[in-house]
Amino acid sequence: MNRTSYAVIDSPVGPLTLVADEDELIGLYFANAPLAAAQPSGWIRDERRLRPAAVQLAEYFAGTRTRFDLPLAPRGTPFQRAVWNALLDIPFGETSSYGELARAIGQPSASRAVGAANGRNPLSIVIPCHRVIGADGSMTGYGGEISRKRVLLDLEARVRGVRAGQLDLQISST
């Protein structure tokens, strides 16, 4: 029998509910997400089990982590999982459009379906759906609210800028 655990952690974008089935992360929800508010019966509050995810998220928000290293098991259709896997390929601090994601999964005419799958991503931040923007570069809908999307993208741009500057400094000093 699977044991679903959850923990609620504070973050710069508000409380986050982490959900794990055994040792695999299956959900990361913003405070306004219906599932985070409901916490279905049978869920057990267990901060210890979710500590690795909480630590990595704290490192991400501190600007010291650009890639998560957690066992993930998002639940969705094969198409949704293909989209979510493609999201993992968007580099930290960069963005992609729905059309680019559709092409990346080999379905160039499926940008609307990609958008729908992106909106159903159960692992916000860890599977970086916030990195998807409109083809014209505009901020598009985000289940976690556009203001949070902007905070996440700004954080990544700032961290990437600092790291790029450090790299340039190292190259020029040799």
For the chain, the first-to-last Cα distance in angstroms comes to 58
- Active-site annotation holds for 3: no
Amino acid occupying residue 53 = A
Identify which of 174, 59, 53 has the alpha carbon closest to the alpha carbon of residue 124: 53
Catalytic residue among 7, 16, 101, 129: 129
Three-class DSSP category at 97 = strand
Across the strands, what pairs with 17?
A: 8, 29
Instruction: State how far the Cα of 172 lies from the Cα of 11, in Å rounded to an integer.
Output: 36
- In this structure, are strands 24-30 and 16-21 parallel, antiparallel, or unpaired? antiparallel
Amino acid occupying residue 20 = A
| Spatial CB neighbours of 44, under 8 Å, sequence gap ≥ 6 | 3, 4, 5, 6
Catalytic residues: 129
